[in-house]
Amino acid sequence: MNCYLYPEPSLFFFTYDLPGLLYYSHIPTTIVALLVGFFVFLNARHLLLNRLLLLIAVCFSSYTFISLIAWTNVHGDLILFLWPLFGILQAFISIFSIYFIYVFLTKEDVKNKIKLVFIALLTPVLLLAHTDLNVSGFNITYCDSFGYEGVPFKIYYTSLGVLAMIWILWLLVTHHKTAENNFKKQIVLMGTGIEFFLFSFFTTSFISTYLAGIGVLHNSSLEFYGMLGMMVFMMFIGILMVRFKTFHVGMVSSQALAIALIVLVGSQFTFADNTTSVVLTSITLIIVGVFSILLIRSVRKEIKQREQIEHLAGSLEKANARLKALDKQKSEFVSIASHQLRSPITAIRGYASLLLEGSYGDMPEKAMEPLDRIEESSKLMALAIEDYLNVSRIESGNMKYNLSDFNLRNEVEHVCDDLRGEALKQGLVLLFRTDLNSAGVVNADIGKTVQAVQNLILNSIKYTKKGTIKVIVRDIIVRKRIYVDIIDTGIGMNQETLNTIFQKFERAENANTANVHGTGLGLFVSLSMIQAMGGTITAHSEGDGKGSRFTLELPLAM
């Protein structure tokens, strides 16, 4: 049963009077699909994702191969035998596409339940493909290689394509919501590629055969355009492969693929026997070439940058280790130096006091002021030395804490009583208030807690020119916390200062003008000690000149 219009072909393919787009839509798309499919598979064949991509590519190329035979061959029996395979292959392309997207999104195999659904959807196509329900005859009259297809059957496998598009879209949208940024981009690329392919492939195939069936079109060449969707899909696969390493393919291999693609698409010129094909093949070649070059270039740049960053990170790590070693040495040095300084300064301070008190007889009036200065300066120096020593103890982990239950409320009140005179000297009022629901007992190191409270109140005195300093002890029983607020009307702090004051040696710019004495270590030491006892210190201020509020917080002993 051969087409009578044309002579018996000498070759397998019969190339006579064919639409210009036929070879172009079939051969380069198949080459690209197969090449990418096999390439991805051979590079990491253990990955299910890669295997599924190959299956889609093989089904698609089988489809195009049969289509090519149907278009070019005159053996009616052969075409009649092959025709039902269109439906089967389309059904497989739909199901493999869903499967592929599942694995891409979840990085694991689908559940058996879903596999059963896949099988159930494929079974009718497999069982009925070679029956009259699918293809009942073959029209050879015009040699247009057109089979009589059963409409319900065609609707069924086309519906599978529509189902695949909707199912895939749903999967993509739901996973996109929760995906991290980088994967979101991959989902968009993969989604656009596969949906474009499925849409163009199924709609053009259905519409063209339907229109040809009812006689609107002379043949179903509209489907050629649908096949080109595969090119677009493979382009997106290429981007995912090179930019995102989606298929675990190395850079060198990707370059090899790009070159192979260019060579193969270029080889199409031997098939291109009419102007349309030559023009289209040239355009494809240019697009594939430019695209490959751009992609590879961008990735190369990225790899270079990554190498540079890695190199920098390595150097930073080394520098950091060196800095740490230096910091340790510095702490040790400070510790030794401070210890050496502590005894002489204590002696200087002691003798100055004794001289001032008149223990060595009356001092001439003129000597009193210098002696006062010696005593004051040595006191400040002793405090600074204590700060340095504390820092080196904290950093070397040698700070010892003697925990015991004590009443924080009472201790804070004592500190206020002790410092009230100091505040008054500067014309400041120091108020103490409580708002307690418990007895105010904490389990902490009493000396260190008092030192931290003292430090905060002394800071308020130091950084307040006029006004009041309020100290409030309050608790929140349900949270099992007790708080000491120190609120002043002093120089305040801006956000930048607030961010740094708890770090070592950090002082605000306005601190120097308000009070030159200071090491920038007090808050660091206080916070470290309070944190070691399960509490914290926070600072708050509305801005420069607007006063400050420091809150020391400790767990209540209940």
Enumerate residues 51-110 that contact ligand ADP by CB under 6 A.
none
> H or E segment at 470?
strand 467-476
Show Cβ contacts of residue 353 under 8 Å, excluding neighbours closer than 6 positions. 375
Residue the block writes with tokens 């306005």: 510
Q: Which residue has the tokens 């499925």?
A: 198
Between residues 125 and 473, which has the closer beta carbon with respect to ligand ADP? 473
549 binds ligand ADP (CB under 6 A): no
Among 28, 87, 229, 518, binds ligand ADP (CB under 6 A): 518
- In this chain, which of 493, 533, 552, 557 binds ligand ADP, going by CB under 6 A? 493
Residue 520 near ligand ADP by CB under 6 A? yes
Pick the piece of the chain touching ligand ADP (CB under 6 A) from 158-166, 182-190, 245-253, 456-464.
456-464
Token duo for residue 276: 């349309």
Q: What sign does the CA torsion over 240, 241, 245, 248 have?
A: positive
Check residue 391 for interaction with ligand ADP (CB under 6 A). no
Is 216 in a helix, a strand, or coil? coil
Check residue 523 for interaction with ligand ADP (CB under 6 A): yes
- Which one of residues 130, 507, 532, 534 is an interface residue with ligand ADP (CB under 6 A)? 507
**Considering the complex, what minimum distance in angstroms separates the CB of residue 493 from ligand ADP?**
5
Candidates 190-198, 253-261, 352-360, 492-500: pick the segment binding ligand ADP (CB under 6 A).
Answer: 492-500
284 or 459: CB nearest ligand ADP: 459
Q: What minimum distance in Å lies between the beta carbon of 484 and ligand ADP?
A: 14
Is the sign of the CA dihedral 67, 68, 71, 76 positive or negative? negative
Q: Which of 440, 490, 554, 557 binds ligand ADP (CB under 6 A)?
A: 490
Say what angle helices 76-106 and 112-128 make with each other, to 10 degrees: 170
Q: How far is 87 from 91, CA to CA, in rounded Å?
A: 6
Closest separation between CB of residue 519 and ligand ADP, Å?
5
| Binding of ligand ADP by 457 (CB under 6 A) | no
How far is it, in rounded angstroms, from Cα 236 to Cα 51?
Answer: 17
Residue 49 interacts with ligand ADP (CB under 6 A): yes or no:
no
* d(C-alpha 350, C-alpha 14), whole Å: 115
Of the ranges 13-21, 104-112, 186-194, 505-513, which one interacts with ligand ADP (CB under 6 A)? 505-513
As a dihedral over the C-alpha atoms of residue 376, residue 379, residue 383, residue 386, rounded to 10 degrees, the angle is 160
Applying CB under 6 A, does 511 fall inside the site for ligand ADP? yes
Taking the least distance from each CB to ligand ADP, the nearer of 379 and 507 is 507
Residue 37 near ligand ADP by CB under 6 A = no
- Considering the complex, what minimum distance in angstroms separates the CB of residue 302 from ligand ADP? 44
Give me the least distance between CB of 384 and ligand ADP, in Å please: 8
Toward ligand ADP, which CB reaches closer, 240 or 521?
521
**531 closest CA partner among 509, 547, 554, 515:** 554
Cα-based distances in Å from 475 to 41, 415, 455, 485, 531: 66, 19, 21, 11, 18
Q: Is 452 in the site for ligand ADP (CB under 6 A)?
A: no
Query: Minimum distance from CB of 511 to ligand ADP (Å)?
Result: 3
Q: Work out the burial of residue 223: count CB atoms within 10 Å of its CB; fewer than 13 is exposed, 13-18 middle, 19 or more buried.
A: buried
Per CB under 6 A, the list member of 72, 220, 460, 489 interacting with ligand ADP is: 460
Q: How far apart are CA 85 and CA 97, in angstroms?
A: 18
CB of 506 to ligand ADP, least distance (A): 6
In the chain, the N- to C-terminal Cα span, in Å, equals 100
What value, to the nearest 5°, has the Cα angle with vertex 328 and ends 323 and 332? 145
Pick one of 463, 483, 552, 557: the residue that binds ligand ADP (CB under 6 A): 463
The binding track of 187-226 with respect to ligand ADP, each residue x by CB under 6 A or -, is ----------------------------------------
Angle subtended at Cα 49 by Cα 45 and Cα 54, rounded to the nearest 5 degrees: 65
Rounded least distance, CB 492 to ligand ADP, Å: 6
SS3 annotation, 306-350: HHHHHHHHHHHHHHHHHHHHHHHHHHHHHHHHHHHHHHHHHHHHH
Nearer to ligand ADP, 190 or 523 (CB): 523
Tell me if 488 contacts ligand ADP by CB under 6 A: yes
Using rule CB under 6 A, residue 501 touches ligand ADP: yes
Taking the CA atoms of residue 82, residue 84, residue 90 and residue 95 in that order, the dihedral angle to the nearest 10 degrees is: -120
Q: Which residues bind ligand ADP (CB under 6 A)?
A: 459-460, 463, 488, 490-493, 497, 501, 506-508, 511, 518-524, 548
